[in-house]
Homo-oligomer: A and B are copies of this chain.
């Protein structure tokens, strides 16, 4: 199959660039499906404020070499632009061909994503270690879920009997940190102890099981340097090894976050910019790491009195991007926006502070805030924004620092310009908090001992057609949220059980797909029946949603735990589980690394934005076809939501069909004869 798609063949850029059609700035539904975002893009136009939506247009046309992945910048002799159709340019100066350059760029993107997640995970592990060692006071952090701690300890093979919580926490934290820097040849603990035996064997056979997270990043960076690997397949294997490190760092990050901050349970909240209430001091927490923001929530509660003295009704903490998802999942904090709308939150004129931690923070928030009173506060030593406040956040004094920031927001509240208020009415109810434990509690109403079987039975019986994970970012190459929502609705209507993370979950939440009872509106008959059964099987505090919010983007391993549980229940390896994934608007390098390990785990994975690999038919073929032969998972690269729905349903249907064939054969000839079919 030869490369066929170009992002610009869809989406706004193409529309705007039609001959004679000057890009219109009246931000309309061609740019976003989000009614609140629509309003605020109009506000931006009215005030002459530039947003990412405008800058995307200004960057058109984007460099074709970059889009195709054939721009090489790994040495100072370059940059080289590979063009197989132009004599002399088929190779870079060193002789690197298209496939080498494309594979190298892809592998370095995986390294970028892995570095982000593993930095996040290391931070959480270090906080847990310092809590366990008594270096951080109880007022800041504590072990909130000792039961989960025990389950993790047991899973990774630690003795738990009679071990005190603090001691166990210390051992678990050290085991997590060992996954970052061991020198010996054992595979990372968080990888081996969480996957199927089949995947363990596969990763061993392919020599892609990492021994240490940091080392695998060093390895892939050197492997892709000038004059190193020229073999695209070997580079891709190296990339997958790094991607499995990404999985490792993500899994331990989620595990230890649950230990520290509590494992999410269903919680009612609201989503979209309408949650910014001008009567309150509004603080947006933005980024990915809950360590700081969870204390901002505490501090906001404590300082409500000071806010009232300043004339507000209290302090309203709202979330953006994945810090938003973390707080929504555990504390029911309102979700204001997913990643594309971060600038728009400021333009409500009612946002008094934006506290940012790590990842996906557009530097432009500071530029937009210059037109408003909003205080932008950076907090991480690796994330500074010129012109923004920088408060050096330390865990030992976390609550005190959080209070300092809330007070800054209260002072900022006094500087609001009423003329600039542009409050949105748009918000939707959301029932979030579906950790795997919460999901299993729900499924367990029907079979408490085998919650995953409830899903697999419903699939084998044809009530639902499979499970889909929605993940990933926003990407302005397409209409904001449109692909997320179109594919989500398509799968729901076709009876697919859907879990979502990150900014995909944000899109669903803002559009009402997570509202209590929303499955009745969006689900097909089978899905409605299935969820109604679950709903009726036990006491339900909140009505069930159509899409189950599984957490932030670092929480995608919750979905991996789900397909692993389903694989165990079905007694097959992951590539036979009717489970698909979709990242309709992949944007960050993190999406590249996640997508890579999801495929290596054996999951058909749709990506709605063309990754930068079209410059090499070989790499394209490896991702979309050869990967299937080796790992069972593969990429479905398709910017068209309609065909994406069809292809995802096909992938599920094929797996269900194979499972049924196998079951029938097992019934007839005995399980022993058909094992490992």
Contacts and interface: CB of A to CB of B under 8 A. Distances in A.
Interface in A213-261: 213-215, 217-219, 221-231, 234, 238
Interface in A315-369: 339, 358-367
A364 B97 CA distance: 9
Contact of A100 (B213, B363, B475): B363
Nearest to A356: B227
24 contacts: A55-B95, A58-B89, A62-B80, A63-B65, A63-B79, A71-B71, A73-B73, A76-B477, A76-B587, A76-B591, A77-B475, A94-B362, A95-B365, A115-B222, A116-B222, A118-B222, A180-B183, A181-B181, A214-B214, A222-B358, A223-B382, A225-B589, A227-B588, A230-B366
B221 A111 contact: yes
B587 A55 contact: no
Contacts of A230: 363, 366, 383-386
Contacts of A385: 230-231
A612 interface: yes
Interface string A64-99: 011100010111111111000001110111111100
Interface residues of A, number: 100
A306 interface: no
Interface in A85-142: 87-89, 91-97, 100, 105, 111-113, 115-116, 118-119, 126
B226 A115 contact: no
A177 interface: yes
Contact of A214 (B97, B177, B218, B362): B218
A3 interface: no
Nearest to A207: B381
Contacts of A111: 221
A80 B177 CA distance: 36
Contacts of A228: 116, 358-359, 361, 382-383
Nearest to A129: B183
Contacts of A97: 363
A56 interface: yes
Q: How many copies does the complex hold?
A: 2
Interface in A602-655: 609, 611-612
A93 B59 contact: yes
A588 B183 contact: no
Contact of A218 (B213, B339, B588, B609): B213
Contacts of A94: 52, 55, 362-364
Nearest to A214: B214
Contacts of A207: 381
Nearest to A363: B230
A182 interface: yes
A54 interface: yes
Nearest to A7: B76
Interface centre among A115, A119, A207 (most CB of B within 10 A): A115
- Top 3 closest A-B pairs, CB basis? A181-B181, A95-B364, A58-B88
A382 B105 contact: no
A476 interface: yes
A592 to B, nearest CB: 7
Given A228-B383, A383-B228, A363 B96 contact: yes
Given A76-B609, A76-B612, 11 more contacts: A52-B95, A55-B88, A62-B80, A66-B73, A67-B79, A116-B228, A118-B218, A119-B219, A119-B222, A180-B215, A222-B382
